[in-house]
Amino acid sequence: MSNRTFTMIKPDATAKGNTGAILQMINAAGFRIVAMKTTHLSAAKAGEFYAVHAERPFYGELVEFMSRGPITAAILEKDNAVEDFRKLIGATNPANAEEGTIRKLYAASIGENAVHGSDSDENARIEGDFFFSKLEQF
């Protein structure tokens, strides 16, 4: 079990000014921010990040959305990080997300759902390495 996960605050949440509130929830839930940056993904980079979804019908929409505006990417640390962070963000579709979760509070739809959270330890490492060099992960 790894103690790290990876997150992005997506363009919808950034544009609505919810970055601070979401980071506060992340801290209050006991996650330490190991690395963090705000950046704007090109369509090519967004497509690369979500390459695993390339065959899904929503891939084009997802790439357009994720490259629409700035995001904040971060590596987070806590015991049982991947599973606990998925609980904190809630279901992919905010309509199905539990009360008090980040997506219930801040997501508008299944596509524009405010935050990303890695779904496995292996993907957390791959996704963290996508944004941060080894020197930035201490």
CA distances, 102 to each of 7, 21, 52, 93, 117 (Å): 12, 9, 24, 12, 11
**Nearest residue to ligand GDP, scored by beta-carbon proximity:** 111
Question: Residues 13, 22: contact at Cβ < 8 Å?
Answer: yes
Output 61 or 129, the one with its CB closest to ligand GDP. Answer: 61
Q: Is 29 in the site for ligand GDP (CB under 6 A)?
A: no
**Backbone dihedral angles phi then psi of residue 60, each to the nearest 5 degrees:** -60, -45
Q: Is 62 in the site for ligand GDP (CB under 6 A)?
A: yes
Q: Is 119 in the site for ligand GDP (CB under 6 A)?
A: yes
Output 68 or 116, the one with its CB closest to ligand GDP. Answer: 116
Question: Residues 9, 76: contact at Cβ < 8 Å?
Answer: no
Question: Residues 74, 63: contact at Cβ < 8 Å?
Answer: no
Q: Which of 48, 61, 79, 136 is the binder for ligand GDP (CB under 6 A)?
A: 61
Q: Is 136 in the site for ligand GDP (CB under 6 A)?
A: no
What are the residues binding ligand GDP (CB under 6 A)?
58, 61-62, 92, 110-111, 113, 116, 119
